[in-house]
């Protein structure tokens, strides 16, 4: 979310989503976690707010340098993994359709 790159964070996200969909549309149906790194850099909060407004998503802001937001990110990762259907559940629901 630092804005240090040529493309804005929301443009990078859009490009990534398009690439994932081209590679495998199945990937777009999976849960995602968006982590905005370098939240310690000036302007990151403004990019964060604009990202939320443009995408409707709420990224987890982290600063690896300052070790901020990492615990929240790890907890969210744990939540998503625990709530994710197992491969057997996914296979079973596919067979029912």
The tokens describing 30, both together, are 């999976």
> Which pLDDT score is estimated for 84?
80
Q: Identify which of 29, 33, 32 has the alpha carbon closest to the alpha carbon of residue 21.
A: 29
pLDDT grade, residue 7 (50/70/90)?
confident
**Percent of the chain, pLDDT > 90?**
51
Dihedral (CA of 50, 12, 30, 62) sign: negative
Q: How far are the Cα atoms of 5, 33, 46 from residue 64, in angstroms, in the given order?
A: 17, 16, 19
């Amino acid at each position: 979310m630092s804005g240090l790159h040529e493309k804005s964070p929301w443009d990078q996200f859009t490009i990534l989503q398009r690439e994932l969909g081209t590679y495998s549309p199945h990937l777009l149906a999976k849960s995602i976690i968006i982590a905005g790194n370098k939240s310690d850099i000036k302007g990151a909060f403004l990019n964060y707010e604009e990202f939320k407004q443009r995408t409707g998503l709420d990224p987890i802001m982290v600063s690896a340098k300052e070790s901020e937001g990492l615990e929240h990110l790890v907890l969210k990762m744990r939540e998503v993994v625990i709530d994710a259907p197992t491969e057997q559940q996914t296979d079973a629901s596919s067979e029912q359709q």
